[in-house]
Amino acid sequence: MTTRTGAGPAGSDLAAALKDGALGALVMLGLSVPIILLRTDQSQANELILRPRIGLVLIFCALIFILRFTLSYYGVKWRTSRRIKAQGEALPAVAGARPTWKARLSSLALPAFLGIAVTYPLLAVIANGGLDPSRYWIDLGILILTYVMLGWGLNIVVGLAGLLDLGYVAFYAVGAYSYALLATKFGLSFWICLPLAGILAAFWGMLLGFPVLRLRGDYLAIVTLAFGEIIRLVLINWVDVTGGAAGIYSIPRASFFGIPFTAGEGGFAATFGLEFSGMHRIVFFYYLILVLALVTNFVTMRLKRLPVGRAWEALREDEIACRSLGINTTSTKLTAFAIGAMFGGFAGSFFAVRQGFISPESFNFLESAIILAIVVLGGMGSQVGVAIAAVVLVGGPELLRNLGFMRAALGDSFDPNEFRLLLFGLGMVAMMVWRPRGLISHRDPSVVLKEKKAISGSLVKEGHG
Amino acid sequence: MEVFVQQLINGLTLGSIYGLIAIGYTMVFGIIGMVNFAHGDVFMLSAFVALIAFLVVTAWLGIGSIALALFIVMIVAMLVTALWGWTIERVAYRPLRGSFRLAPLISAIGMSIFLSNFVQVAQGARNKPIPPMVQDVIVLWTGPTGYTVALSYKQIIIMAVTAVLLTIFWYVVQKTSLGRAQRACEQDRKMAALLGIDVDRTISLTFVIGAALAAVAGTMYLLYYGVVSFADGFVPGVKAFTAAVLGGIGSLPGAVLGGLIIGLIETMWSAYFSIEYKDVAAFSILAIVLIFMPSGILGRPEVEKV
């Protein structure tokens, strides 16, 4: 908060930093007085009683003090030294020599990621010594890949076209319910339903996208949020069709291109001469979602090079300039919505077939927010970034839960999933404050004239979107 | 007829609460043009502060007078929530001035997720009920079918407190130098800064006032329903935002008017159509208003500048 410009004498710096830290601690004390200090609990007589937690408040205040003090004391020094360095280097640093480690990292990251993703079940089996014990890890991989796919789908709308969609989970729901209903009511197989679910979700994307086209920025975001909630509430209340809050049970499982995963004659194991194991299906699901996610990525990368992809990016940068250059913003926005929704629909029908059970609870606003957090923290528009963010945000808390020392340090009742969303929220704020372009953001111009110049993300000013 | 009058009373009560929250949305939008998505959760947090303050006042301090207890609870909730509002602006929004257009909204969504989960972690996920504070009702009249139209003391308190606070607030915005600074910043932030108005301070104070009014709404919510949970911020927040947009975002009387209209629509819808779809109605109104009349009832149409 104190943006002192000149580097004063060390003593006054220290005093100022101490003062800053003390102020921060004082504010923290004020913030935490009722809400952290006094915990409300249900007593035996079902009345609320208060349980004071003075120690916790003191810990928080001390933490804030240390944080503010360090930021303020070392922040000034760091900023000054950086400014001096920046003045020394001056301008040429911007134009040519920028794509150093970042570019190398992203060029290395892609094959590495792909390699790990493809061999992941094998690695899990080797590490756990067998197919059955590695079930947890492969399930986790499926979960992460689902979010990678959702993140990539939303990335088309948010990252490429610059339209903030807060109701993305609605299309996920449309996909899931399409498969569940078509399969349970009409007995269609997964392989027919998958494209149908995608088409239906795309159709809904167009339908919901149409009225919001005139809106921009924040209003568009809020309307998509409203649509997402309306779809969820309709799913809850339209009991005749959707089964209401109880959801849809016993959704038929997918087959291996017609060969069911059953133990008997004609099943997957028997056909390929393997010993039957329930894990075959799980491994199959893993590769299915991997392929779906890669298709999403591939299509997005190809679309980026098509005129429509260029139009998306132009729209993101400046809508007015875009319109004045004769780009049809209506169809550009609609295609972004529809294609983003289509991938959401694919992911949704995969979700339904994997779970075998869906209910509206899986499609609440929080889910949209998590997907959005993945896209935002991955650096909007960056495919690799989204994948990394999904691994960290979805896989991270799961891993933390299994670390023994965390439990030993923080007590048995410690459950990182409780703090997961809390950290997501903080992460989104921190991201916007420090790195609004994402952790590994670099935004190369898609079209270049004569020579290629990398432009650092901070130089690109985003227009109205 | 009796049902209608009863629903009118209930709707106006609910509408007062929405109106108080809506002012926070509309003021912030007016001054820095952002949708403060976390405002609904600030409201929820204030209800929790009020809950804890109420327990302290009644159980620990043993204050028997409900009027005094309610007054203390409201003041405490306003102070603490105002501090929260100030801190949120400082941490999550101020560094984003001049960032790209969607940055504040994304930051606000992050803040909203943080706040609701913070309260969940700090206070637990269960509903927190308190014994009813005020129970008496005034029976206005009894209809021929035996349906009584009643006005409860709770409802009187809520409407009276809302009216008094809005008057004070109106006075602050119209007559004091702070209000003048605020309106100046709303019209042209750069020009206001050139004329010697401390823009940062004015924006901070806007958040403080908005949070304090949300705290009044939170206290009233607790008084009315007697129960609060960490997830209670989202839907009332969206409804209050709908109210702000319906009344014309940026317009203060519009926010109150919008709040009353939304409250009335919600109760009437629940009474005459279906209670299951009342939130669908609220969200639909939000979408319809944003799409077809984005400048609302009392708002100025937004001029697109190139």
What average pLDDT does range A281-295 have in this prediction? 89
pLDDT at A178 over 60: yes
pLDDT in tens, B208-250: 999 999 999 999 999 898 888 888 888 899 899 989 988 888 7
Looking at the complex, report in whole angstroms how far the Cα of residue A425 sits from the nearest Cα belonging to chain B: 4
The predicted model scores a pTM of: 0.84
Residue A228: enclosing H or E segment and its boundaries? helix A217-237
The pLDDT assigned to A11 comes to 65
| Disruptive mutation site among B54, B75, B290, B302 for chain A (greatest number of A CBs within 10 Å) | B290
pLDDT in tens, A423-465: 888 888 888 888 776 655 445 555 556 655 555 444 454 443 3
With left for phi above 0 and alpha for psi between -120 and 50, is residue B172 left, alpha or beta? alpha
Residue A211: its chain B contacts at CB < 8 A?
287, 291
Looking at the complex, report in whole angstroms how far the Cα of residue B145 sits from the nearest Cα belonging to chain A: 32
The pLDDT assigned to A91 comes to 44
Q: Do A50 and B55 touch (CB under 8 A)?
A: yes
B residues 41..80 contacting A (CB < 8 A): 45, 48-49, 51-53, 55-56, 59-60, 76, 80
The pLDDT assigned to A93 comes to 42
- What is the percent of chain B with per-residue pLDDT over 70, rounded to a whole number? 98
The pLDDT assigned to A87 comes to 58
Nearest CB neighbour to A462, from listed B84, B90, B100: B100
More confident residue, A434 or A289: A289
What number is the ipTM of this complex? 0.84
Looking at the complex, report in whole angstroms how far the Cα of residue B47 sits from the nearest Cα belonging to chain A: 10
A residues 217..256 contacting B (CB < 8 A): 217-219, 221-223, 225-227, 229-230, 233-234, 236-237
Q: Do B113 and A33 touch (CB under 8 A)?
A: no
The pLDDT assigned to A154 comes to 93
The phi, psi pair for A256, rounded to 5°, reads: -80, 85
Nearest CB neighbour to B291, from listed A215, A320, A431: A215
Residue B294: its chain A contacts at CB < 8 A?
215, 219
The pLDDT assigned to A177 comes to 92
The pLDDT assigned to A94 comes to 42
What average pLDDT does range A55-79 have in this prediction? 80
| Amino acid at the residue B196 | G
pLDDT in tens, A368-425: 888 988 888 887 777 888 888 888 888 877 777 666 565 566 555 566 667 778 888 8
Q: Is B61 exposed, middle or buried (0-12, 13-18, 19+ CB in 10 A)?
A: exposed
Q: Kindly report which listed range (A5-9, A320-324, A417-421) carries the lowest average pLDDT score.
A: A5-9
Q: Do B90 and A1 touch (CB under 8 A)?
A: yes
Q: A319 at the B interface (CB within 8 A)?
A: no
B residues 211..240 contacting A (CB < 8 A): 234, 238
| Disruptive mutation site among B102, B228, B306 for chain A (greatest number of A CBs within 10 Å) | B102
The pLDDT assigned to A82 comes to 63
More confident residue, A258 or A193: A193
**Which residue from B246, B297, B275, B258 is spatially nearest to B7, judged by alpha carbons?**
B275
Q: Do B84 and A31 touch (CB under 8 A)?
A: yes
pLDDT in tens, A202-227: 999 998 888 887 777 788 888 888 88
Residues 6+ apart with CB under 8 A from A297: A152, A383
What average pLDDT does range A177-198 have in this prediction? 88
Q: Do B279 and A463 touch (CB under 8 A)?
A: no
What residue of A is the nearest CA neighbor of B109? A425
B residues 243..302 contacting A (CB < 8 A): 276-277, 279-280, 283-284, 286-287, 290-291, 294
The pLDDT assigned to A96 comes to 45
The pLDDT assigned to A49 comes to 78
**Which residue from A374, A346, A351 is spatially nearest to A142, judged by alpha carbons?**
A351
Residue A427: its chain B contacts at CB < 8 A?
110
Residue A263: enclosing H or E segment and its boundaries? none
pLDDT at B44 over 70: yes
- CA dist A415 and B197 (Å) reads 48
- What is the percent of chain A with per-residue pLDDT over 70, rounded to a whole number? 80
A residues 411..430 contacting B (CB < 8 A): 418-419, 421-422, 424-429
pLDDT at A37 over 70: yes
The pLDDT assigned to B221 comes to 92
More confident residue, A6 or B274: B274
Mean pLDDT of all residues in chain B? 86
Q: B120 at the A interface (CB within 8 A)?
A: yes
pLDDT band for position B40 (cuts 50, 70, 90): very high
Nearest CB neighbour to A429, from listed B102, B107, B277: B107
Q: Kindly report which listed range (A53-57, A234-238, B105-109) carries the lowest average pLDDT score.
A: A53-57
Residue B277: its chain A contacts at CB < 8 A?
233, 237
The pLDDT assigned to A408 comes to 60
pLDDT band for position B145 (cuts 50, 70, 90): confident
The phi, psi pair for A383, rounded to 5°, reads: -70, -45
Q: Do B114 and A429 touch (CB under 8 A)?
A: yes
The pLDDT assigned to A26 comes to 85
What average pLDDT does range A55-82 have in this prediction? 78
pLDDT at A169 over 90: yes
- What is the percent of chain A with per-residue pLDDT over 90, rounded to a whole number? 15
The pLDDT assigned to A5 comes to 46
Count Cβ–Cβ pairs < 8 Å, chain A vs chain B.
184
**DSSP-derived secondary structure for A182-218:** HHHHH---HHHHHHHHHHHHHHHHHHHHHHHTT--HH
Looking at the complex, report in whole angstroms how far the Cα of residue B20 sits from the nearest Cα belonging to chain A: 20
The pLDDT assigned to B15 comes to 92
The pLDDT assigned to A451 comes to 57
pLDDT in tens, B265-294: 989 888 888 777 888 888 888 888 888 887
Looking at the complex, report in whole angstroms how far the Cα of residue B281 sits from the nearest Cα belonging to chain A: 9
Looking at the complex, report in whole angstroms how far the Cα of residue A448 sits from the nearest Cα belonging to chain B: 24
Q: B150 at the A interface (CB within 8 A)?
A: no
What residue of B is the nearest CA neighbor of A159? B102
| Disruptive mutation site among A429, A437, A459 for chain B (greatest number of B CBs within 10 Å) | A429
A residues 323..342 contacting B (CB < 8 A): none
pLDDT at A148 over 50: yes
pLDDT band for position B299 (cuts 50, 70, 90): confident
**DSSP-derived secondary structure for B14-81:** HHHHHHHHHHHHHHHHHHH----TTHHHHHHHHHHHHHHHHHIIIIIS----HHHHHHHHHHHHHHHH
Chain-centre distance for alpha carbon A201: 20
Q: Do B100 and A39 touch (CB under 8 A)?
A: no
The pLDDT assigned to A403 comes to 62
pLDDT in tens, B84-133: 999 999 988 888 887 777 788 889 989 998 998 888 888 888 888 888 77
